[in-house]
């Protein structure tokens, strides 16, 4: 079964706009980008409403396309209604591109000129059609693709949530594959840099965070004329729970792997810290870390008494850490990452002298620990060791909002 192994989401005002009217949601398995329009902050209101209707997730839906389309319909109705009740917000609207990751496919609902892309085997494919004037002119053969690139009315869209009482939305599903990278973005990215450049950046930055930051930087370097929103996630196969992620090119750093631009107050619970805790030496079974720790202390004590040079001690510790890392591949604990997001870690919450971590970030939720009640925070983020199944189902419930307050 495929699931989201790594994600990164952020939005940037760009270099020319004063406000950011884009909104996003990155709450796996649901990802949304909305780009609002309208005067006096109305665009911001519209895009926020579009994202809000997805905040509670879809549950275990059997018909994701239908459910996504229904949410889009209710967002349209809410925005339309509000635009009539308030003169300042008359005519406001928003684009919407929402993706739901189901077990074997991604379902997409889409209106406007935000986009969804997939990078697979180094090839970038656009999964959505723009509902824009330029795109219609292109389809009618009235302009060439070259003319479209710099067309003065590039940002005029022909369909949006809000302006009309009802809206036609595109829905589609695509079969997924391990290693697929998905990008949702607002036009502030794609009007600033070419798809070739997007493809190149995604291909050369395997970590989602690096790719996202590089995309934003490239759009800003090209002028940053509009708000830029980027939501990225990568799917991996999780059917072999003891195996490391198949195409993870580097060991992720749990403190920097994921970032969300959602309101994210300072982390209330620190990431797994480095207690001066020794390695679980020869810990074949990682289920009893305390005992393993005892052995570790004893071993280290012996080494010290024999006055083995520090360098050799470090080498030994390094080898032990490597062994422990393999042995620890099947235990998990829940903590928070550097940005306060509830995170699933593989391994045990200890760090060896020299900064060698016995854990790695396995999955970052979109849930900020600060949204949990203190009691829930204590029981969930207590770093107790769990099986992958237990930990995953806990986090799944958390993401569905069942464990909230």
Give least dist CB 186 to Mn ion, A: 5
Does 226 engage in binding with Mn ion (CB under 5 A)?
yes
How many whole angstroms separate alpha carbon 132 and alpha carbon 155?
A: 7
Instruction: Report the SS3 class of residue 73.
Output: helix
Does 35 engage in binding with Mn ion (CB under 5 A)?
yes
Give least dist CB 106 to Mn ion, A: 23
Please tell me what DSSP assigns to residue 245. P
Which range, of 35-43, 260-268, 281-289, 379-387, touches Mn ion by CB under 5 A? 35-43
> Which residue number, 186 or 371, has a Cβ lying nearer to Mn ion?
186
Instruction: Report the SS3 class of residue 122.
Output: coil
Which range, of 30-38, 72-80, 229-237, 348-356, touches Mn ion by CB under 5 A? 30-38
Which range, of 45-53, 201-209, 223-231, 232-240, touches Mn ion by CB under 5 A? 223-231
Answer left, alpha or beta for residue 329, where phi above 0 means left and psi between -120 and 50 means alpha. Answer: alpha
The sheet that has 228-237: what strands, in order across it? Answer: 2-12, 228-237, 181-185, 115-120, 123-126
Give least dist CB 79 to Mn ion, A: 16
Does 187 engage in binding with Mn ion (CB under 5 A)?
yes
Give least dist CB 37 to Mn ion, A: 8
Give least dist CB 352 to Mn ion, A: 47
Does 12 engage in binding with Mn ion (CB under 5 A)?
no
Answer left, alpha or beta for residue 194, where phi above 0 means left and psi between -120 and 50 means alpha. Answer: beta
Q: Cβ distance 395 to 365 under 8 Å?
A: yes
Instruction: Report the SS3 class of residue 126.
Output: strand
Instruction: Write b or e for each residue in 69-79: b if 16 or more Cβ atoms lie within 10 A of its Cβ, otherwise e.
Output: bebbbebbbbb
Q: How many other CB atoms sit within 10 Å of the CB of residue 371?
A: 18
Nearest in space to 71 (alpha carbons), one of 20, 15, 27, 30: 30
Which range, of 143-151, 170-178, 184-192, 355-363, touches Mn ion by CB under 5 A? 184-192
Q: Give 51-54's long-range contacts (Cβ < 8 A, gap of 24+).
A: 51/23, 51/24, 51/25, 53/78, 54/25, 54/27, 54/30, 54/98
How many whole angstroms separate alpha carbon 303 and alpha carbon 108?
A: 58
Q: Count residues contacting Mn ion (CB under 5 A)?
A: 5
Q: Which of residues 146-165 bind Mn ion (CB under 5 A)?
A: none
Which range, of 52-60, 168-176, 178-186, 286-294, touches Mn ion by CB under 5 A? 178-186
Give least dist CB 111 to Mn ion, A: 14
Give least dist CB 43 to Mn ion, A: 9
How many whole angstroms separate alpha carbon 345 and alpha carbon 335?
A: 7
Give least dist CB 38 to Mn ion, A: 12
Does 113 engage in binding with Mn ion (CB under 5 A)?
no
Instruction: Convert residues 321-340 into a mask of x (bound to Mn ion by CB under 5 A) and - (unbound).
Output: --------------------
Q: Cβ distance 173 to 65 under 8 Å?
A: yes
> Which residue number, 226 or 236, has a Cβ lying nearer to Mn ion?
226
> Which residue number, 156 or 308, has a Cβ lying nearer to Mn ion?
156
> Which residue number, 10 or 343, has a Cβ lying nearer to Mn ion?
10
Which range, of 48-56, 182-190, 329-337, 359-367, touches Mn ion by CB under 5 A? 182-190
Which range, of 27-35, 281-289, 345-353, 375-383, touches Mn ion by CB under 5 A? 27-35
Q: Which of residues 285-314 bind Mn ion (CB under 5 A)?
A: none
Nearest in space to 219 (alpha carbons), one of 2, 374, 16: 16
Give least dist CB 287 to Mn ion, A: 52
Per CB under 5 A, residues contacting Mn ion are 35, 186-188, 226
């Amino acid at each position: 079964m495929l699931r989201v192994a790594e994600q990164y989401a952020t939005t940037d005002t760009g270099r020319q706009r004063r406000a950011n009217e884009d909104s996003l949601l990155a709450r796996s398995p649901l990802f949304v980008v909305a780009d609002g329009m309208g005067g006096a902050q109305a665009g911001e209101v519209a895009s926020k409403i579009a994202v809000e209707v997805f905040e509670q997730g879809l549950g275990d839906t059997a018909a994701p396309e239908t459910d996504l389309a229904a949410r889009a319909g209710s967002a349209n109705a809410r925005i339309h209604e509000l635009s009539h009740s308030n003169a300042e917000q008359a005519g406001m609207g928003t684009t919407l591109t929402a993706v739901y990751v189901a077990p074997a496919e991604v379902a997409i609902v889409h209106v406007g000129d935000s986009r969804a892309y997939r990078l697979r085997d180094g090839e970038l494919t656009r999964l959505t059609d723009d509902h824009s004037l330029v795109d219609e002119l292109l389809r009618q053969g009235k302009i060439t693709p070259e003319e479209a690139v710099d067309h003065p009315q590039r940002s005029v869209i022909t369909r949006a949530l809000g302006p009309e009482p009802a809206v036609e939305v595109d829905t589609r599903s695509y079969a997924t594959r391990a290693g697929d990278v998905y990008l949702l973005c607002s036009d502030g990215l794609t009007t600033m840099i070419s798809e070739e450049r997007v493809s190149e950046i995604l291909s050369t930055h395997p970590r989602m965070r690096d790719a996202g930051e590089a995309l934003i930087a490239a759009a800003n370097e090209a002028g940053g004329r509009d708000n830029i929103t980027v939501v990225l996630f990568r799917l991996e196969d999780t059917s072999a729970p003891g195996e490391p992620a198949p195409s993870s090119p580097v060991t992720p750093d749990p403190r920097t792997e994921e970032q969300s631009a959602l309101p994210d107050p300072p982390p209330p619970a620190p990431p797994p810290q480095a207690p001066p805790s020794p390695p679980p030496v020869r810990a074949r079974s990682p289920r009893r870390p305390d005992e393993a720790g005892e052995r570790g202390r004893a071993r280290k004590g012996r080494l010290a008494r024999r006055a083995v040079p520090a360098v050799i001690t470090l080498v030994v510790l390094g080898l032990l850490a490597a062994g422990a890392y393999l042995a620890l591949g099947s235990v998990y604990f829940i903590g928070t990452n550097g940005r306060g997001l509830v995170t699933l870690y593989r391994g045990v919450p200890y760090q060896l002298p020299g900064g060698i971590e016995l854990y790695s970030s396995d999955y970052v939720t979109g849930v900020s620990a600060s949204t949990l009640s203190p009691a829930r925070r204590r029981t969930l983020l207590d770093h107790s060791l769990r099986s992958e199944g237990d930990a995953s189902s806990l986090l799944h419930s958390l993401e569905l909002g069942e464990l909230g307050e």
